Structures are given as C-alpha cells and as structure tokens.
Amino acid sequence: MMESLKKLFNSLANPSKRKKVLVIVSGLLITAGWTADFFWDSDLLFNTLMIGSALMAGSEIARRAWQGLQNWHTNIELLVTIAATGGLAIGVYWEAAAVTFLFLLGGWLEARTMSKTRDTLRELINMAPDTAIVVEDGDRTEIPARQVQKGMLVLVKPGSKIPVDGIVESGGTTVDESAITGEPIPAKKQPQSEVYAGTINQNGSIQVRATKAGGDTTLAKIIRRVEEAQEEKAPTQRFIERFASWYTPGIVGLSIVSYLFTWNLELALTLLVIGCPGALVISTPISVITGIGNAAKKGILIKGGEYLENAGKVTAIALDKTGTLTTGKPTVSEIIHFSKEAALAGVDPEEEFQKVHTVSLSDQNNQSLPSEGEELLYWASVAESVSEHPLAEAILAEEQSGRIPEPDQFESHTGQGIEAALGDDHIFVGKTEFMKQKGVSISEGINNEIQNLTKKGRTVVLVARNNELLGAIGIADQMRSEAPKMISRLHENGIERIAILTGDAQATAEAIAEEAGITEVHAGILPEDKNDIILEMQQQGYQVAMIGDGINDAPALASADIGIAMGAAGTDVAIETADIALMSDELMNIPEALRMSSKTLSNIRQNVVIALVTVAALLTGVFTGSVHMASGMLVHELSVMAVILNGMRLRWI
Amino acid sequence: MKTTLRSDELSCPTCVDNIESSLNQTEGVSEAAVHFNTGRIEVEHDPETVSGDKLVEIVGQSGYEARISQF
C-alpha cells in the first residue's frame, strides 16, 4: 500500500502526469456530483463532490499562483485562484469546480496540441545522426558526429544518414536531400559532389571528406534559422501583446470597480475568470510557428513572422535573370569563324573575301569542329584560362585539346573584355565595342551573324589575335524549363507586375523574357540601378519581392520588401541575409513561398478576429448576466482551442 | 555554463513569465530566457550550484515537462 502510494507520489512529480491525474480526478468528481444531484437530488452530496473537485484542480493552480507570488510575480493562475476561492466562499460550488477543472483541462489539451506544432523543429533536430564513422589509415572508428574535424574522411553506409557536410571522395550513390532542399527526388552523387549532414544515403557506400560538422553544418544553420524565425515577433503579435498587457490589469480594475458599484461579488469574480487573454496572445504565434515550420519542410526558409506578413502582401516581383530564370551555367552554343580557303587562294590578303560560317554546337553531334573553330577556341581559352568570369568557364569547358598554356600577361577590363599576351601573340576577348576600342576591324558579314545570335538571346564574345578578328563565340544560359509555368502561376496568385532586372544585353534578356512570358525588361543595368528600379516600384505603391541568387543582388534584395534567394543550400550568405531562402533551385517554390505566406497571413487575421470576438462576446455576456463563471471559463478555453486548431490547419495547406 | 532545455508543452505565452521568474529566482542561475514559440529555454547557470537536472525539475514545478537538448 505504502509502496504504491509512493509510486503515485513520485509520478506526480512529473508535471504532465500530475496534470493528467488531477484533470481526470476532478472531472470524475464533477460527474459524480451531477449524478448524485440527478438520482438522489442530494444537495449535500452534490456540494461536497463539487468542493472536492474544485480543491483537487485548484491545488495545482493555487500552487502555481503561490510560486509566482514568491517570485514577486502575479499571473493568470492567481486570478483563477481568487475567482475559485471567492466562488467557494459565496457558495457557488459548481461554478468554482467548473472554473478550475476547465482551466486545467484546457491547459492540458492545449499543451498536447501545441506540442504537435513544434514537430517540424523536433524532426529537423533528429535528422542529424549522433555518430560518424571516421576512416584513418584504413582503420574505422565511430565518434560523436560533432567531434568530426574538417578534413577527416567519413564513411557513410547505404541507408544511413550523412553526419557531416563534405565532398564525396570515393564511391557513388543517390542521396535523399529532402530534409535540406525539400526536393523529393534523390540526387545522384559521385566523387566531387557536395553532400550535407542530415541527408540520407540510399544505395551506395561513400567516403566523404568533411568540410563542416556539428553546429556549422547547413542543417544546424537551418535549425537555427527556423528557430530564430519562429521566435521573431510579427507586427500583429507585438500589437496584440501590447493590447494583452493592458487587457488583464484592465479587467481586474473593471472587476473591482463593478464590485464597488453593484456589490455583486459573483459578477466581479466572473470578470476575473475571463481576464486571461489566452486566445489573444496565442492567436499570432500559433499561425507563425505552424506556417514557418511547414514551409521549412518544403525547403523554404522564412526569416520570421514579419517577413511572412510582408510576403503575404506582395503585388510585384522583380527577378534576376542569370541563375534565377536561367540555370546560371552558361555553355557555348555557337561558334562563328571565317574560312581561310579564300585567303590561301587569294592573291592579295588585303583584298581577300572572308566567308563567315556559324556552327551550332547542338547540331554538331560530337563531330569535331573545323580547324578554324578549334583555333578560335584555343586562343580564347588561353586568354580566359586565368579569368574568373562565368563565361570563361563555358569557353574552357568546350576547349577539347586540354593543353592550354597560361598567358604571360593578363588584364581584365570589367564589363568589357580581357586582353592577354602569350609570347608574340596578343589576344583580345570581349564585346564588339571593346574590339572597336582596341582598333580591331569588324566586317559587316560577321556583324550580321553576331546580331542574329544576340537576337536569339545569346551572349556573344569576339576573339581577336594580333589585332585580327578570328571570329566570335555565342554563349547561351538556358532558361529553366519551369520558368513559364512559374510566371503564369504568379499571375494566377494575383501578382500584378513582374519585371526582369539584369546586367545582360537587352536582346538577350528580351529573348528569355519572351520565352518565360514576362513583358517588363530592364536590361544592361548595374546592381545599384536594380535598387533604384525597386525603390521606384515601391513609390508607385507596389509591395515588391526581389528574387536573386543572394550574392551579387544583395542591395536589391535588401531594399525590396521581401528578398528571396534561390539555391541557398550551399551558400551561407544567402541563408543568413535573405528574408526568404529557397534551399533548392526549384522555381515553383517561389509562388509556393508567396502562397504559403499569404495563407499564413489570413490565418493570423482569422485568429485575431476569433480572439477579439470572443473577448467582446464574453464582456457583453458578463454584463448582461448571461455568462457566469463556469460558462465564462468554458467559452474562454474553447476560444483558445479554436485558435490553436485553426492555426494547425496550416500544416496541410 | 549555458544549458538549453526544450519543452514542447508551453501552451500560453503568460506561462513563459512563470518559468522565467522561477528560474531567475533560483540560486546559481544568472540568466534564463524562455522562448514561447519554439519552446526553447536557455539558462545561464553555475553547474556547481544548480545542475541541468535541477533546472528540468524547476521547470516541472511550473507545470511543464522539459528535457535537456544539445542545441
């Protein structure tokens, strides 16, 4: 007997069990009371059971109120304790029992439901495995994952979670990266591929050279970001909290004043019962937590409630072109070269008639280029081999010989072109204007071809060696296939204005814009111009979202009402700075992010309305005499549950 | 030393004040912050005077179950 009592007592130290036991016991006592009243019409039994119930449930509430008082802190529990004690004193036992029971039951149900809304975060934290298998000189040792150092080699077996961020050193596999990117289709990995902690290795065994571990991994950054976002207060929440901080003292004051005027103690106590601003203060946070958590699951990181509210109001969108609408990985698509037969046969090289050829690489089907084309690529590659321009990569990727000497001298003219010297050869690679500046003559024949390619949306670079034009290279940055679908979805979702902002040439930008279905193009502009255009759109009354890759669009992303960065999985800067970071390159996540934001925004509004209507109804009810202590507490707890459940709907949108 | 506790049960933003004040009044705790939305409880404390388990117990007395978390 003593043993089982001790056990019961011990289990009561656990707050969840204690609450559960008290709720059940006081609930049973209330039921017993009504049963006694119904069958035996016994007032004595009814009152005794109700007092018992009120004391049971009230003990926990009074204990918390006392704990608060000891810390010089008044709380809602104190109000409920005063109301219930007062109720017992004036003999409304059923009301006192109902108030305390409902308060505990509501708190218990709310805690259970709220814990569901925190699922996403818990799941994310659980994604990271605790240990890693480190391979050193052929020996395998298992160590805690956060102790892995940069440069260590980690073995990841099929079916297990990857413990660190790193580069695949050997082996090949597919990896489920949905935790990081939200992308449901597994990604193929081979040596040199990047992998992230928290993703799941599916079918192959791989060895990974660690670059980041523990708190530095992308997953840890996502978790921190989601947490900070959920904790940041939305403007509505700040407003509501200001209101709530006046509400409770106001109601207490009202209770005292109304008692002094009416000497009606029950009315005064009822006012204390409805003094808890429960539904009000929880209305915004519940939507924000659920909305942000659900978005994070899809690889959409929203920085906080404020951004969620702003993103929900977006009416105009400015898009970067390269890397956003396009894949951002330019490839050589055409080569324009001269044929030299004329020169060989010609008598006077000055008078020769040069024939212009345009070779489309996609039609070429792996056939080798004519020698003039090869030569053109060779010289361009020599000059570009030390350049860091994105186009350089495309040209170097096309050069087949693989033996490119580095130039002796190199100079880059930003935005124009480059010049390089190798031995006696002097090379220019750049735009038409750059060639003209350098005194290279451009014949009409090739100029026409260049115009043609530009109209098709190609970026064209000219190549000259020793002041003689060798030809030109057309470089295409392919549009992402889902771009037109995304644009039409944005229009469907009520976005009124969509514009491309790009540093590229007008013709290139227009070609992409037409394909994607965008009518407004601002091309050939500098990063600070992008900023000005966004400010101008804002002055015209638009709520503007800027979408870019997060690095070179930083100023524009910052001045837009909402800055959205794409493909943020690998770039910490984007995760840290953008208001919304899309972990993957999936374009459809842009309309999705805006849609979820506006859904969350309207959810917040619904909740605020529910809470305010409840408060107004309760106050009216109390003063017209239709709401008493028990019904006041019931309505109050129901409104809290209504708000929580409404917020939880966001999990399924 | 900083210890992070997590509780999934916080259901009313006003209970944040209850937990915060009882932690802050505990000897050995220099600073406690309770984040309602995520249920994260950050406590700066002297582990010699008050252990992590003791912190869990104090939060329990305010009516909420918590556990120690790595981050």
Q: A574 or A469, which is more confident?
A: A469
Q: How remote is the C-alpha of A545 from its chain's centroid? A: 14
Residues of B in contact with A107 (CB under 8 A): 11-12, 63
pLDDT, position A214: 78
Q: Are strands A580-582 and A300-302 parallel, antiparallel or unpaired?
A: antiparallel
| Contact status of B26 with chain A (Cβ, < 8 Å) | no
Residues of B in contact with A223 (CB under 8 A): 71
Which three-class secondary structure state does DSSP give residue A475? Answer: strand
Residue among B7, B22, B25, B37 with most chain A CBs within 10 A, to mutate: B37
Q: A50 or B16, which is more confident?
A: A50
CB pairs under 8 A between A and B: 97
| Residue whose tokens read 């690489």 | A361
> Comparing C-alpha atoms, which of A507, A565, A554, A567 is closest to residue A527?
A554
Q: Which two tokens stand for residue A378?
A: 């060779």
Mean pLDDT of chain A: 84
Which three-class secondary structure state does DSSP give residue A420? Answer: strand
Long-range contacts of A404-407 (CB under 8 A, 24+ apart): A404/A378, A406/A382, A407/A382, A407/A383
| Contact status of B9 with chain A (Cβ, < 8 Å) | yes
Residues of B in contact with A60 (CB under 8 A): 63
Using 50, 70 and 90 to split pLDDT, how confident is the model at A345? Answer: very low
**Left, alpha or beta for A467 (phi > 0: left; psi -120 to 50: alpha)?**
left
Q: Which two tokens stand for residue A418?
A: 């480059």
| Contact status of B67 with chain A (Cβ, < 8 Å) | no
DSSP string covering A540-573: TT--EEEEE-SSTTHHHHHHSSEEEESSGGG-HH
Q: Which two tokens stand for residue A214?
A: 């523990």
Q: How far is CA A340 from CA A196, A221, A371, A375, A395, in A?
A: 52, 58, 10, 12, 23
Q: Do B21 and A125 touch (CB under 8 A)?
A: no
Q: Can you tell me the mean pLDDT for B1-10?
A: 83
Catalytic residue list contains A130: no
Q: Which amino acid is at A197?
A: A
Residue among B2, B11, B29 with most chain A CBs within 10 A, to mutate: B11
CATH number, residue B55: 3.30.70.100
Q: Do A282 and B12 touch (CB under 8 A)?
A: yes
Q: In angstroms, rounded to a whole number, what is the distance separating the alpha carbons of residues A586 and A584?
A: 5
pLDDT, position A310: 86
Using 50, 70 and 90 to split pLDDT, how confident is the model at A357? Answer: confident
Q: Which amino acid is at B28?
A: G
Q: Do A220 and B25 touch (CB under 8 A)?
A: no
Q: Confirm if A653 and A294 have CB atoms less than 8 A apart.
A: yes
Shortest CB distance from A67 goes to which of B13, B22, B70?
B22
> Comparing C-alpha atoms, which of A334, A326, A320, A374 is closest to residue A454?
A334
Q: In angstroms, rounded to a whole number, what is the distance separating the alpha carbons of residues A446 and A439?
A: 16
Based on C-alpha coordinates, what's the Rg of chain B?
Answer: 11
> Domain A331-476: which topology?
Calcium-transporting ATPase, cytoplasmic domain N (3.40.1110)
Q: Do A16 and B69 touch (CB under 8 A)?
A: no
Shortest CB distance from A67 goes to which of B57, B61, B64?
B61
Closest CA–CA distance from residue A647 to any residue of chain B (Å): 13
Q: Confirm if A302 and A311 have CB atoms less than 8 A apart.
A: yes
Closest CA–CA distance from residue B61 to any residue of chain A (Å): 7
| Contact status of B10 with chain A (Cβ, < 8 Å) | yes
Count of residues in chain A: 653
A130-216 has CATH 2.70.150.10 classification: yes
* Residue A361, pLDDT above cutoff 80: no
Angle at A332 between CA A330 and CA A337, to 5 degrees: 150
Which residues of A lie inside 8 Å of B (Cβ-Cβ)? Answer: 13-16, 19, 60, 64, 67-68, 70-73, 75-77, 107, 110-115, 118, 121-122, 125, 146, 215, 220, 223-224, 227, 230-231, 241, 276-278, 281-282, 285, 288-289, 640
Which three-class secondary structure state does DSSP give residue A614? Answer: helix
pLDDT tens per residue, range A495-538: 999 999 887 778 888 888 988 999 999 988 877 788 889 999 99
pLDDT tens per residue, range A500-510: 988 777 888 88
CB atoms within 10 A of CB A196: 23
Closest CA–CA distance from residue B48 to any residue of chain A (Å): 23
* Residue A362, pLDDT above cutoff 80: no
Q: Do B63 and A278 touch (CB under 8 A)?
A: no
Q: How far is CA A564 from CA A42, A266, A320, A591, in A?
A: 68, 55, 11, 11
Q: Can you tell me the mean pLDDT for A56-75?
A: 84
Q: In angstroms, rounded to a whole number, what is the distance separating the alpha carbons of residues A106 and A61?
A: 13
Residues of B in contact with A118 (CB under 8 A): 8, 38-39
> Comparing C-alpha atoms, which of B52, B56, B10, B18 is closest to residue B35?
B10
| Residue whose tokens read 């309760």 | A618
For chain B, counts of helices (H) and of strands (E): 2, 4
Which three-class secondary structure state does DSSP give residue A277? Answer: coil
pLDDT, position A428: 92
CB atoms within 10 A of CB A382: 22
Q: How far is CA A583 from CA A223, A303, A550, A571, in A?
A: 13, 13, 12, 9
DSSP state of A171: -
pLDDT, position A365: 57
DSSP string covering A199-264: -EE-SS-EEEEEEE-GGGSHHHHHHHHHHHHHHSPPHHHHHHHHHHHHHHHHHHHHHHHHHHHH--
CB atoms within 10 A of CB A397: 13
Chain B's closest residue to A245, CA to CA, is: B14
Q: Which residues pair with A410 in a beta bridge?
A: A420
**Left, alpha or beta for A413 (phi > 0: left; psi -120 to 50: alpha)?**
beta
* Residue A59, pLDDT above cutoff 60: yes
Burial class (CB in 10 A: 0-12, 13-18, 19+), A251: buried
* Residue A125, pLDDT above cutoff 80: no
Shortest CB distance from B14 goes to which of A227, A281, A285?
A281
Which structural domain, as residue segments, surrounds residue B39? Answer: 2-69
Q: Which two tokens stand for residue A82?
A: 């005063």
Using 50, 70 and 90 to split pLDDT, how confident is the model at A405? Answer: confident
| Residue whose tokens read 């596999």 | A173
Q: Do A125 and B12 touch (CB under 8 A)?
A: no
* Residue A377, pLDDT above cutoff 90: no
* Residue A573, pLDDT above cutoff 80: no
Chain A's closest residue to B15, CA to CA, is: A75
Shortest CB distance from B11 goes to which of A14, A71, A111?
A111
DSSP state of A302: E
Burial class (CB in 10 A: 0-12, 13-18, 19+), A119: middle
Q: Do A118 and B36 touch (CB under 8 A)?
A: no
Helix (H) or strand (E) holding A301: strand A300-302
pLDDT tens per residue, range B20-44: 888 988 889 999 999 888 888 989 9
> Comparing C-alpha atoms, which of A595, A598, A566 is closest to residue A319?
A566
Count of residues in chain B: 71
Chain A's closest residue to B60, CA to CA, is: A15
pTM: 0.76
Chain A's closest residue to B63, CA to CA, is: A15
DSSP state of A524: S
pLDDT, position A551: 60
Q: In angstroms, rounded to a whole number, what is the distance separating the alpha carbons of residues A217 and A209?
A: 14
Q: Can you tell me the mean pLDDT for A263-282?
A: 84
Q: How remote is the C-alpha of A619 from its chain's centroid? A: 41
Q: Can you tell me the mean pLDDT for A226-239?
A: 80
Q: A156 or A121, which is more confident?
A: A156
Closest CA–CA distance from residue B1 to any residue of chain A (Å): 17
Q: How far is CA B3 from CA A554, A585, B50, in A?
A: 36, 37, 11
Q: Which residues pair with A174 in a beta bridge?
A: A188
Using 50, 70 and 90 to split pLDDT, how confident is the model at A75? Answer: confident
Using 50, 70 and 90 to split pLDDT, how confident is the model at A347? Answer: very low
Sheet holding A425-430, edge to edge: A355-360, A331-339, A468-476, A459-465, A425-430, A417-422, A409-413
Q: Do B8 and A114 touch (CB under 8 A)?
A: yes
Q: How remote is the C-alpha of A44 from its chain's centroid? A: 61
Q: Do B63 and A19 touch (CB under 8 A)?
A: yes
Chain A's closest residue to B67, CA to CA, is: A14
Q: Do B14 and A70 touch (CB under 8 A)?
A: no
Q: In angstroms, rounded to a whole number, what is the distance separating the alpha carbons of residues A583 and A300?
A: 6
Residues of B in contact with A288 (CB under 8 A): 37
Which of the residues A37, A43, A216, A320 is marked catalytic?
A: A320
User: Which stretches of A41-139 are DSSP H helices?
Assistant: 43-70, 76-89, 93-117, 119-127
Q: Confirm if A561 and A527 have CB atoms less than 8 A apart.
A: no
Sheet holding A520-522, edge to edge: A300-302, A580-582, A562-565, A544-548, A316-320, A497-501, A520-522
Q: Do B21 and A231 touch (CB under 8 A)?
A: no
